[in-house]
Amino acid sequence: MKTSVFDIYGNIIEEIDLPNIFDYPVRPDLILRAYLAIYSQKFQPKGKSPSGGKKYVVESPGTGYDMSRVSRTGGGFGTARFIASSVGGRRVRAPKAEKVIVEKINKKEKINALKSAIAATVDPVLVQMRGHKLGEIKALPIVVSDDFEELTKTRDVMDTLIKLGVEEDLERAKKGKRIRAGKGKRRGRKYKRKKGPLIIVSRPDAPVIKAARNIEGVDVVPVEKLSVVHLAPGGFPARLTIWTKSALTSIHEKINETWQRLINKHKKNIAKEALQR
């Protein structure tokens, strides 16, 4: 399958073959599983203190005093404390800090999920189902020349994106920014935002990373750090993606290197087990 390469002015300059990775089957279930496994690394353990609600000297008064036999302060005749039904008492079946909240995923499954998420970006039906506006975009994926990585001004990046046909999706992301309902607005997450186009570049020091970071909804990521989290925010695949030519040609090599590393590690483990026997 071939695709067109655009320059920073929106003109077609050449056609290249897409890597075989774009022919991989789209697996929404595998993509969601990988997303949750990666996202769970951010979870913070929470739980009650072992001594919470128990920092009182209490005693039960016993029978014969015409009062309930709950644990009380003051030698058994004061305020009810310690028990779960009292004010300031302990919690019953409260969350425990040692609970395992991080999900795990096999490395091969994680790689296959990444391949599946990349393949989903080619299907215009899936991209529109995710909510993106294709507008004047004629074909996916959008591939731009490497000159795009050298842009240093936000206005130049914006002009190039408009000439590539993603203006309608940028407008959708801009209008989608709104104030969050509830207490979350007071806890460092005041706004809810829409996800716009994802730009994938070939190197982590590309000037366009800083130039495009102030555009609402746009994310820029080097190909070596590309993850399911970028390609499928929220676990939903088929994000509108813009590739630079170098990034597109190197993605297949990156995944092959990772896969070969896993195979070599597996062979070493098998050899080690054989020696131990």
Assign 3-class secondary structure to 245-263.
Answer: HHHHHHHHHHHHHHHHHHH
Peptide bond into 141 cis (omega under 30): yes
CB 47 within 8 A of CB 97: yes
The DSSP H or E segment spanning 272 is helix 245-276
pLDDT > 90? residue 277: no
Residue 107: predicted pLDDT: 87
Q: What is the pLDDT at residue 103?
A: 93
Stretch (H or E) spanning 15: strand 12-17
Contact predicate 67/44, CB 8 Å:
no
Residue 95: band (very low, low, confident or very high) from pLDDT cuts 50, 70, 90: very high
Q: Give the model's pLDDT for residue 267.
A: 75
Look at residue 41 in the predicted model and tell me its pLDDT. Answer: 92
Least confident of 226-230, 235-239, 271-275: 271-275
Instruction: From 232, 251, 258, select the one nearest 108 (Cα to Cα).
Output: 258
What percent of the chain has pLDDT above 70?
A: 99
Per the prediction, the chain carries an average pLDDT of 91
Cα separation of 208 and 146, whole Å?
11
pLDDT tens for residues 172-184? 999 999 999 999 9
Query: CA-to-CA distance for 223 and 218, rounded, in angstroms?
Result: 16
Q: What is the pLDDT of residue 125?
A: 94
Q: For residues 102-120, give the mean pLDDT.
A: 92
pLDDT band at 36 (very low <50, low <70, confident <90, very high): very high
Residue 239 has pLDDT above 80, yes or no: yes
pLDDT of residue 270: 77
191 CB neighbour count, 10 Å cutoff: 11
Which range has the worst mean pLDDT, 25-29, 62-66, 220-224, 249-253? Answer: 249-253
Euclidean distance between CA atoms 22 and 2, whole angstroms: 11
Residue 266 has pLDDT above 80, yes or no: no
User: For residue 194, is pLDDT > 80?
Assistant: yes
Q: Which residues contact 28 (CB under 8 A, 6 or more apart)?
A: 236, 237
Which residues does 253 contact at the CB level (< 8 Å), separation at least 6? none
pLDDT score for 199:
96
Residue 18 has pLDDT above 80, yes or no: yes
To the nearest 10°, report the CA torsion of 165, 176, 209, 35.
-100
Q: Is the predicted pLDDT of residue 138 greater than 90, yes or no?
A: no
pTM of the model: 0.83
Query: Stretch 205-229: mean pLDDT, rounded?
Result: 94
Confidence check: pLDDT of 260 > 80: no
